[in-house]
Chains A and B, each alone.
Chain A
Amino acid sequence: MKLNERSVAHYATCDSPADHAGFLHKRVERHHHHHHHHHTTSYHRRWFILKGNLLFYFEDRESRDPLGLVVLEGCTVELCEAAEEFAFAIRFDDAGAKAYVLVADCQTAMEGWVKVLSRASFDYMRLVVRELEKQLEDVRKSLAACHKSPRKSSSGRKRHFSNPAMALVQEQPPILENGYSTWGSGYIPAGASCSDHDGGCSKPPPLPPRRRLAAGSGCGAPATGLSLTGQESPVSPETACFSKLHNWYGQEIAEIRREWLESQRSGEL
């Protein structure tokens, strides 16, 4: 089966942070040409890096390319009854898939690996995200129920819709890539449509309270003097769509970075 190996290797070695890393001894598969009476198991010391649901191993820490990869889906991680201390195994629900026996250097290392590998699957991550999504929804609902006074009309959606330039800033975020956000491109194309294509969200989110709009923001929209710094609530109720919110924070960061660069430049003059 083909795999986009070059890209996978790049993902393994690029500087996105690893979820866990360390040396482990990896049991070598027995080859059939060995003498059958000798039951020596051998191990190779490898440098392991966990990124998401992928466990990569390298010949050593300085290697440029991974030797191999383990896809951590449909597997369980368990302590192993090997002769070696600190051994654990990755076994697959699919019995035909070969298990991996790994040996750590000490108890702590072993426990650390077992813990993190057990939770590495995409499914596990998805479960937690869904749970938190639900929790956030519940928290927002209960907070909304607590609010006696109506929101000021100057905040939130009304202003959002009445100012097309504002709507432009909010509706057309920079393209969010899978694991690679293009913060650098604060550019918002002129005349970009305000229709929402991502996330399946039916409502555009109102402006998040802490966002500052400096004059000369990348989109060229004029500063509207919308002063939000006084608002206390941490998040607006309609911000159900993570993608959009994510892009918000990204724009704020792009802003801050731009301002910092400006100040650096003027500092040098």
Chain B
Amino acid sequence: MRYSERELLSLSRQPAEKAAEILMRAPKKGSVLKKRLVKLVVNFLFYFRTDEAEPIGALLLEHCKINKEEENVFSISFIEEPDRKYSFECDTEEQCQEWIEALRRASYEFMRRSLIFYRNEIQKMTGKDPLEQYGISEEARFQLGTRKL
């Protein structure tokens, strides 16, 4: 599948939602923990060698599951391969929880559901559709009940 490294590189330079040096382990068997600079930008998690300006890689955070593992550790796995986990070991349990929360809210799909929720609530309470002012009320992607979860 073709993708533009330039697009990803450029995105990796945007202000991050969250960034920290965390020990990371790839899903491959026998992988070791390596210290990485991990940076959350929109729905991508970039990871860098700590002394480099360009990321080694990126994880698209859609259809993924963020799990708490043992102490200070969380993992990211993807729906179609639930046993293949990227592991992250934080310095503290608190840091671990913060990352879990941030990553669970990081997907575009999560935001979309938030939008639909708020739209519905406002509509119920005011009788008005708040999306009309944006001119996007008819777009399929914001409709209630038409989306499979």
A2 and B57: CB pair below 8 A? yes
- Nearest CB in chain B to that of A97: its residue: B6
Chain A 118-144 near chain B by CB (<8 Å), digits 1 or 0: 010011011011001101100110010
Q: Is the CB of A96 within 8 A of B6?
A: yes
> Is residue A189 contacting chain B, with contact meaning CB distance below 8 A?
no
Which residues 39-80 of B have a CB within 8 angstroms of A? 42-43, 54-66, 78-80
The yes or no answer to A80 lying at the interface (CB within 8 A) is no
A14 at the binding interface (Cβ < 8 Å): yes
Instruction: Tell which of A17, A53, A92 touches B108, judged by Cβ atoms closer than 8 Å.
Output: A53
**Closest Cβ–Cβ distance, residue A53 to chain B (whole Å):** 6
Q: Which residues of B contact A20 (CB under 8 A)?
A: 140
- Is A6 in the interface zone, CB < 8 Å from B? yes
Instruction: Give A154 to B11 CA distance when docked, in angstroms.
Output: 51
Distance, CA A198 to CA B98, complexed state (A): 9
Contact across chains for B79 and A10 when beta carbons are under 8 A apart: yes
Total of A-B residue pairs, C-beta within 8 Å = 214
Q: With the chains together, A7 CA to B80 CA distance in Å? A: 7
A69 to nearest B CB, angstroms? 5
Question: Cβ of A52 and Cβ of B3 under 8 Å apart?
Answer: no
In the complex, how many angstroms separate the beta carbon of B84 from the nearest chain A beta carbon?
9
Size of the chain A interface, CB-CB below 8 angstroms: 70
Q: Which of B10, B65, B66, B130 contacts A132 (CB 8 A)?
A: B130
Task: Please indicate the chain A residues that have their CB under 8 angstroms from the CB of B42 in the complex.
Answer: 53, 73, 122-123
Report the nearest A residue to B125, measured CB to CB. A139
Which residue of chain A is the closest to B57 with respect to CB atoms?
A2
Collect the chain B residues with CB atoms within 8 Å of residue A119's CB. 136, 139
Bitwise, A1-45 to B at CB < 8 A (1) or not (0) is: 111111111110011110110000000000000000000000000
A176 within 8 A of B: yes
Chain A residues with CB under 8 Å of B58's CB are: 1-4
A interface, CB within 8 angstroms of B: 1-11, 14-17, 19-20, 51-54, 65-71, 73-74, 92-94, 96-98, 116, 119, 122-123, 125-126, 128-129, 132-133, 135-136, 139-140, 143, 175-181, 183, 197-200, 234-235, 242-243, 245-246, 249
Query: Could you say which residues of chain B place their CB within 8 Å of the CB of A7?
Result: 59-60, 62-64, 78-81
Chain A CB within 8 A of B126 CB? yes
Kindly provide the distance from the CB of A199 to the nearest chain B CB, expressed in whole angstroms.
Answer: 7
Which residues of B (125-147) have their CB < 8 Å from a CB of A? 125-126, 130-131, 134, 136, 139-141, 146-147
Report Cα–Cα, A54/B147, bound state, in Å: 18
A97 lies within 8 A of B122 (CB): no
Please list the 9 inter-chain residue pairs (A to B) with the smallest Cβ-Cβ separation, ordered nearest first.
Answer: A179-B109, A2-B57, A52-B108, A68-B2, A178-B107, A132-B118, A122-B42, A234-B124, A7-B78
In the bound complex, CA of A98 to CA of B81 (Å): 33
Q: Does B16 contact A (CB under 8 A)?
A: no
Contact B14 A74 (CB under 8 A): yes
- The answer to the question of B101 belonging to the interface, with a C-beta cut-off of 8 Å to chain A, is yes
Q: Report the separation of the CA atoms of residues A183 and B149 in the bound assembly, to the nearest whole angstrom.
A: 9
Q: Is the CB of B1 within 8 A of A68?
A: yes
Q: Assess whether B119 is in contact with A132, with CB atoms less than 8 Å apart.
A: yes
A184, chain B: closest CB distance, angstroms: 11
Which chain B positions have C-beta within 8 A of A183?
149
